[in-house]
Chains A and B, each alone.
Chain A
Amino acid sequence: MTQAALPRAGIPTAADILAPSPGVLLRRRILRHWGLLIGGTILAVIVLMALLAPLIAPHDPYDQDLARKLIPPIWHGGAKVTWAHPLGTDQLGRDYLSRLVYGARISLLIGVSAMLISGVIGTVLGVIAGYFGGRVDMLVSFIVTTRLSMPVVLVALAVVSIVGSSLTVVIWVLGLLIWDRFAVVMRSATQQIRAREFITAAQALGCSTPRILLTEVAPNVLNHLIVVATLEMAHAILLEAALSFLGLGVQPPTPSWGLMVSEAKGLMFFDPWLITIPGIALFALVLAINMLGDGLRDVTAPENRG
């Protein structure tokens, strides 16, 4: 009786000697991946900055004060430097730190929205092509090839100059132009999964095609989707900066990092910080997103590294 009441400490049961679950392994790999952690941290800081912009920004980003124009940032030294404007002011006397903080909102908004639009288009096309194959695949591949033959920046420039530029137009133009990588990656990932026997098993169980796509295919291609999504988000942010720099993206006085570089290009040789500050911000954001994407690829699919 006493023996039966004894806890079976130290005796391994079947559950104890199992390999760790995929979730535990994933968490372990994430915590060991420095690129992923650094990229994730920088991105988290920028996202927080964008979300809390009204609390962080010391001034209204639209407030002009020509009496206080072109104050250099605090590390520059000189008579005009003031803690009221830690990053200085631009040629219209607007606080540069406030514009940078609010600009993060525009960059992230465009990045996320364009990525979502292109992600939906590309994923639907790619999964359908990969799953059904045959004629459907041929048609989708033709659409993808057609899209790839169009230079993104040129088409975006043409459309924006015809339709007129606004934040919404930029988001839609980018979203409708950069779905090709989603389609290509999702197509080949789905083809791989399609050939596995658990898909046949699901068919033999009488699962409907939408159910197979959602519950059997989707969870297995999700890791590829996340990686492409981060890369395309960085791509969209850079394209927005390029369009804004060319004057066809976001319109002034909206604070956008690309527009800030563009507005300062006349003063590049006299007040270089006007270009380097938004430039560094863009660089850090895109680098962080790419590091995150690479890291996610490494930790979710270690066999696909390369």
Chain B
Amino acid sequence: MTAAALTAAQVEAAPMLEARDVSRTFRVSTGLLKPKRTLQAVEGVSLLVRPGEVVGLVGESGCGKTTLARMLLGLLPPTDGEIRVVGRPTAALPRRTIAQLVQPVFQDPYSSLNPRKSIGAIITLPLRVQGGSDSATWRAQVEEMMERVGLARSLYDNYPSQLSGGQRQRVAIARALINRPRLVICDEPTSALDVSVQSQILNLLQELRRDLGLTYLLISHNLAVVEHMATRVAVMYLGRIVEEADTDALFRAPKHPYTQALLASVLTPEPGLGVPDTQLGAAYPNPLDVPPGCRFHPRCAHVMDICRTVAPKPVASGEGFVECHLYGTP
């Protein structure tokens, strides 16, 4: 009986997006006449996003968040592993079909809109690419979407340079949503905006998710944003997801020492407290030279002998997992 109920729940929660052991390496030249080296941007990442979820992906700059996002969008083939969107492997799907299912919202609305095209033309482009309708229908659809994201219809013939940052991000969101994708990958959607505009955009994203039944993958290094938006959080460090848990659990009781340090690093508005000490040290992670064993051990406050030689296996904990020798087998 319970087994049958479980299956029903599983069917309902068929993954919107599934990454299995996805890796991506780049060959980079380190100088003239020197041999090329391998940069491990993403290594063995598995991620599951269920319909209706908001999964937060956090980590510091250069940890592979954006590379992972590009692979999930089908813009970059993984060197290893498989990505499935709504159960179908992306490697076998044409770009246009992926585009109907997954759409991005980028960080910088000053760079993500073509300055030579009018707002109307920018939002119409997705409809044009998918084809199959006439321009009057397109115009009606675009104006309806503009209204939905809080843009005046009168802006249809204006250019991006005439809009504010917040308005531009609304245009970018309208472009991403006009074809009604199932999953939206938001890559730092608010970090280029003024603080006063950030909350407006976040509330808009929440509202649209409710109204249109969207699923979000929210990439951010702003922990407050992630805590506010996400239902589940994955923490990435140097190309790997080191901890994954429900938002409440993660923010209440972070398990991985890196997650603990990240949460400790949040600046408080309290004057006089200064910059918090995260005990991470100054060793900056280098994806060209990944440390042996646990890749976090050179910066870890709880480093043990085993960490220097053996890479930790993921240990299930609650709804998620953590990759650390402090947990699991004693």
Contact = CB atoms under 8 A, between A and B. Distances in A.
Nearest to B108: A197
Contact of A219 (B108, B116, B126, B130): B116
A73 to B, nearest CB: 50
Nearest to A198: B114
Given A14-B154, A204-B103, A198 B129 contact: no
Contacts of A216: 114
Interface size class of A (residues with CB under 8 A): 20 to 34
A19 B99 contact: no
Nearest to A16: B154
A18 B98 CA distance: 36
Interface in A197-215: 197-198, 200-207, 211, 215
A198 B104 contact: no
B162 A201 contact: no
A15 B153 CA distance: 10
Contact of B112 (A21, A197, A215, A220): A197
Nearest to B111: A197
Q: Which of B103, B116, B154 lies at the interface centre, i.e. has the most chain A CB atoms within 10 A of its CB?
A: B116
Contacts of A206: 94-100, 129-130
B129 A19 contact: no
B251 interface: no
Contacts of B103: 204-205
Contact of A205 (B125, B159, B161, B162): B125
B116 A220 contact: yes
B117 to A, nearest CB: 7
Interface in A1-38: 13-15, 18-22
A207 B162 CA distance: 26
Contacts of A22: 115-116, 159, 161
A198 B121 CA distance: 13
Interface string B83-105: 00000000000111111101110
8 contacts: A14-B152, A200-B106, A201-B172, A205-B103, A206-B97, A207-B129, A211-B129, A219-B114
Interface of A: 13-15, 18-22, 196-198, 200-207, 211, 215-216, 219-220
